[in-house]
Structure 1
Amino acid sequence: MLDRIKVQLQYLLPKQGLTQLAGWAASKQAGWFTHLVVKGFAKYYRVNMQEAEQPNLETYATFNDFFVRPLREGARPVVDGEHQIALPADGAISQLGQITEGKLLQAKGHDFTLEALLACNMPMVEKFHNGLFATTYLSPRDYHRVHMPCDGVLREMLYVPGDLFSVNPLTAENVPNLFARNERVICLFDSAFGPMVQILVGATIVGSIETVWAGTITPPRSGVLQRWTYPTEGEGAVHLKKGEEMGRFKLGSTVINLFPENSITFSPALQCKTPTRMGELFAEIR
């Protein structure tokens, strides 16, 4: 009964307003009050501050500064094999596997279409027909910077406006088409094994989604789909190495990766609900 109430509240709450309020509050410097909130959050969620570049909680002037804290050097070794792909984020695997008949598994009893996820960008959809996908959920306690699983050259970025449902496991199990209806930033890269997509999915109280090449993508939330294309060389080209940071969430969320058919084999250690640490083995290039 309690779970049903939590899910129904997702439909009733003013998610846009709550998210704007949370983003505003998280960016404010409020002295002792900010430190009190940060300490309470870190204690409640058992955040491991020994991994942080700055473990002293009082060094963070805003909640956002704390939430996107960088890790100390060496805290996340990145697999360095030529054919090894690295996990992009700390969190847990929600689902992974084959894209079958144009559909991705969201949770037991729920799937969603590749076409909807990629906002009907059909040239992009065709690249991942019968491909593979992996969905990684970042909980509040996790490190919230997202890194490259492989060397990549950015070719296209889409901002897709949408809802701001929570993306926690309970919501994923009960809200149809969750990842295809939420706000998201879709990044298409060229890689040694073909195209690769990394999607940053927004959620309730995710105050901001950022990339290292464009800065803050959202807010503002204009409600209009936006598309950017990038050259492979010269001015404006974006080349990122495996393990380099590519984006971050200021509160919350989920990362979805897409790979072409027969391009990679996921690590057998990865299953639904497997914890992930950025830099560890994600997959092997075939």
Structure 2
Amino acid sequence: MINNPRRAGTPPCAPIWHTRAHVPAWPPFRPAATPDRGTSVTPPRISFSGLADTLRTLPQYALPQHALSRLVYRVTRSRRRWLKDALIRWFARRYRVDLGEARYPDPAAYLDFNSFFIRALRPGARPLPADAQALLAPADGRLSEFGSLEGERLLQAKGRRYSVVELLGGSERRAAPFRDGAFLTVYLAPRDYHRVHMPCPGTLTESVYLPGTLFSVSESTTRAVPRLFARNERVVSVFETPAGPMALVLVGAMLVGFIETAWGGPGSYPYGRRERLRREEHARVRLAAGAEMGRFGMGSTVIVIFPRGRVQWDETLQNGAAVRVGMPVGRLTPGAKEAERS
């Protein structure tokens, strides 16, 4: 529901499926209630780190998020040699990209910047474990959060939670299996390998594109913007796996030009378009553990969700730790069916 713009001190907000940016209630710090006359008020504690995150994030509300993403989409596909070579070399230096593990380590070998950004790795760069019960990291990046849902609530950052129903597109039916389940969130930095792989074998049952905002998904924005992952544009894919249903959510961000899926092909979901929600029912697409399932054109976030009792996280996992595709992050529990890698 859109907030009433006439309400004092509260700017209008858009629903999660609308592409306009959500604007938080202002000012950000209010007493919980208005006291009776003569009652003293204890002012709320203001975290200076939280205030800094808010101040860094505020300009994003005013930026033309989708227009910027459309511009990035075009520039990163330019095949003007001088432009794409300059962009690739600058980017590789700026973010210290390890081209030694790329299939094509020479920057000049790429047709455009986008081809470089979604570069393939050389064979053997991400070996898979022999354990068929291992649950694998879906992407290279940083483990921002993991653990258990509290009912339908997932942890976004310290002090911030959001709804799995919202994340998966507002469908109670789609979200029901994941209540009190397990989740893992991986943030992909600009320097990371930007292809997403299957954590375990799975058969695709549903794919949903959800329009939304395009906030950055940096650490400061994740801490500052409420329900960030349930507001940004995203692609939700649901698979049937040996551990039951698995939701794999690819969340877009500012300057993300597109998301591709293995079954949708190139440019499956170009961001920056004011497109409505799109559901797709697919033939039985089966992907093996470690198989590529999607790609990001510029960086973002991947969220994996399982039902309760189907996954046991590795005891050595820690928030903030670096993960790589194929790295074991947990195990399918004994109650799950035996997985067979193909």
TM over 0.5, yes or no? yes
Please state how far the C-alpha of 1:217 moved relative to its aligned partner: 2.7
Local SS of the residue matching 1:125: helix
Alignment partner, residue 285 of structure 2: 238
The yes-or-no answer on 1:224 pairing with 2:276 is yes
Query: Which residue, 56, 72, 79 being the options, matches 1:29?
Result: 79
State how far apart, in whole Å, the 2-side matches of 1:218 and 1:31 are. 26
Question: Please, which moves more after superposition, 75-84 or 195-204?
Answer: 75-84
Alignment partner, residue 74 of structure 1: 124
Alignment partner, residue 144 of structure 1: 194
Structure 1's consecutive aligned runs of 4 or more residues displaced over 6 angstroms after TM superposition are: none
8 Å Cα contact 2:238/2:246 also seen in 1: yes
Please state how far the C-alpha of 1:33 moved relative to its aligned partner: 2.1
Query: Which residue, 303, 323, 326 being the options, matches 1:279?
Result: 326
Gaps of 5+ in 1: 231-235
Gaps of 5+ in 2: 1-50, 334-342
Please state how far the C-alpha of 1:209 moved relative to its aligned partner: 0.4
The yes-or-no answer on 1:60 pairing with 2:110 is yes
State how far apart, in whole Å, the 2-side matches of 1:40 and 1:84 are. 38
Superposed counterparts of 1:163-242, under 5 Å: 163-215=213-265, 216-219=267-270, 221-230=273-282, 236-242=283-289
The yes-or-no answer on 1:160 pairing with 2:192 is no
State how far apart, in whole Å, the 1-side matches of 2:210 and 2:130 are. 33
Aligned-residue Cα RMSD (Å) equals 1.2
Matched residue type, 1:208: F
State how far apart, in whole Å, the 1-side matches of 2:88 and 2:180 are. 44
State how far apart, in whole Å, the 2-side matches of 1:75 and 1:219 are. 28
8 Å Cα contact 1:159/1:217 also seen in 2: no
Alignment partner, residue 32 of structure 2: none
State how far apart, in whole Å, the 1-side matches of 2:101 and 2:322 are. 17
Query: Which residue, 291, 294, 311 being the options, matches 1:247?
Result: 294
Please state how far the C-alpha of 1:2 moved relative to its aligned partner: 6.2
Q: What whole-Å deviation, never above 9, does each CA across 1:201-260 have from its counterpart, x for those lacking one?
A: 011010010001012232263431111123xxxxx3201000110000010100000011
State how far apart, in whole Å, the 2-side matches of 1:195 and 1:80 are. 23
Alignment partner, residue 94 of structure 1: 144
The structure with the greater share of residues assigned to strand is 1
Query: Which residue, 249, 259, 280 being the options, matches 2:306?
Result: 259
State how far apart, in whole Å, the 1-side matches of 2:284 and 2:182 are. 27
Local SS of the residue matching 2:78: coil
Matched residue type, 1:249: F
The yes-or-no answer on 1:16 pairing with 2:66 is yes
Larger Rg: 2
State how far apart, in whole Å, the 1-side matches of 2:159 and 2:321 are. 20
State how far apart, in whole Å, the 2-side matches of 1:69 and 1:246 are. 15
Alignment partner, residue 28 of structure 2: none
Matched residue type, 1:54: Y
State how far apart, in whole Å, the 1-side matches of 2:243 and 2:148 are. 17
State how far apart, in whole Å, the 1-side matches of 2:274 and 2:129 are. 39
Matched residue type, 2:317: L
Matched residue type, 1:38: I
State how far apart, in whole Å, the 2-side matches of 1:5 and 1:96 are. 27
- TM-score, structure 1 as length reference: 0.95
8 Å Cα contact 1:213/1:238 also seen in 2: yes
State how far apart, in whole Å, the 1-side matches of 2:53 and 2:169 are. 30
Matched residue type, 1:242: A
Q: How many pairs does the alignment contain? A: 281
Local SS of the residue matching 2:224: coil
Q: What whole-Å deviation, never above 9, does each CA across 1:4-62 have from its counterpart, x for those lacking one?
A: 44211111111111010011100111102211110110011000000000001111121
Larger RCO: 1 or 2 (CA < 8 Å, sep 6+): 1
Matched residue type, 2:263: W
8 Å Cα contact 1:198/1:257 also seen in 2: yes
Matched residue type, 1:13: L
State how far apart, in whole Å, the 2-side matches of 1:63 and 1:23 are. 10
State how far apart, in whole Å, the 2-side matches of 1:162 and 1:4 are. 20
Matched residue type, 1:219: P
8 Å Cα contact 2:53/2:223 also seen in 1: no
